[in-house]
Structure 1
């Protein structure tokens, strides 16, 4: 995951805000040991509590190496996780970004290179501090253009970013 973050996400500026936090070592990589939905949600709550009590951690990548190989199962976890954060009063405090090795945007073809913007070596919930995200977005010239720029980058013929993303995902297996 660190290689994916450093070489793909930061290296190709997929997320223009990740580089600063990567260099500051303010990103936590947490691995969920459980493969049952309940254990995964408990891991999410634990990471929220860790962020609550540890301001030097800017963001957490909660990684699920087992139990979410099927993308539909992952989408179920994501839906439950969002509802859980809301029910615990974390709406407006933390935001989830989602990544899965087989990520496919609704309405997109499976082989569309745009899907690689949300593909990672393992199913992952990315917990972001909403206040930090809002602050970063205010200082970016074109935050609304980030997704389109990434899609264009990955859809370029012979895209080095797409080639790298595919190599990283292939290497995990």
Structure 2
């Protein structure tokens, strides 16, 4: 018998994870990147995080910086930047994790499945052919093949490359 270990998920499974102060999509400070927060990227309009409780390796979250709940509240500039970041996130995931596909989802409202309904955010879930993950189906447990901090280290340099060069 093979044993699959994912001990960092136990607090989430038991519901004993400490609640973060403030909004997940509004990490403290002004850092562009912060491994302790799983913050891969932050600019003036968007934020990209690794999901701390992922459905699959490389599960990203993309949100506007501004705290809003619905697509209809986005400015044209925010909307345009989010679309550009959707493409950039796909490119980075494909470059480093080589998925055969990527699910991109947006749940608007709690009734639609949004766990954090008051801050609009997209999910990116990399998928691999024939990796249907029997554990999720049989035991409602997810197995993630790479530690989340290793995934952060793998993706982080490419997200830093998205930052504009400082003005002279």
- TM-score, with length taken from structure 1: 0.32
Larger-gyration structure (1/2): 2
TM-score by length of 2: 0.33
When you count helix as a share of all residues, which structure comes out higher? 1
